[in-house]
């Protein structure tokens, strides 16, 4: 199963904000993750609605990882961004094998297994060492010696 770009961005944004003790901005997220700002803004908004991020407006505002978001699972985020569609669309156009197909059931099981693994992974787990420090170093200016 291949995740769409928005899902990939959502997971990276969640990881970076989870690793960071300070608020950040959409512009900083876009720069640090090398992503288009307009896409980051849309994904941040969706993550806020899911309870992964909190956003604060105004001069001292920004984006932060929500207090209880560490307990959310990767599977929950993936489902929210990917939807519940099957891996293949057997009805559009209608496949002539649909009545006796043995593949569709196996693809459903494979998708369920994929999501089950992601359901066992909490967002907070994604930033355990060594990942957290690596995330915090993304896009940071190089130290001068």
C-beta of residue 88 within 8 angstroms of C-beta of residue 13 = no
Residue 24 tokens read as 């950040």
pLDDT at residue number 140: 59
C-beta of residue 101 within 8 angstroms of C-beta of residue 95 = yes
Q: What is the pLDDT of residues 15-57, one digit of tens each?
A: 999 998 889 999 999 999 999 999 999 999 999 999 999 998 8
Q: What is the pTM of this model?
A: 0.85
DSSP structure class, residue 51: T
């Amino acid at each position: 199963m291949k995740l769409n770009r928005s899902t990939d961005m959502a997971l990276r944004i969640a990881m970076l904000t989870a690793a960071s003790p300070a608020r950040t901005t959409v512009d900083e997220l876009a720069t640090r993750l090398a992503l288009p700002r307009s896409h980051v803004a849309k994904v941040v908004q969706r993550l806020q609605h899911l309870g992964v991020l909190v956003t604060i407006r105004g001069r001292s505002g920004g984006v932060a990882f929500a207090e209880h978001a560490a307990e959310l699972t990767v599977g929950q985020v993936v489902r929210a961004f990917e939807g519940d569609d099957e891996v293949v669309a057997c009805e559009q156009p209608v496949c002539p094998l649909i009545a006796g197909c043995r593949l569709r059931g196996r693809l459903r099981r494979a998708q369920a297994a994929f999501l089950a693994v992601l359901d066992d992974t909490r967002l907070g787990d994604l930033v355990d060492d060594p990942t957290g420090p690596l995330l915090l170093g993304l896009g940071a200016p190089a130290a001068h010696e």
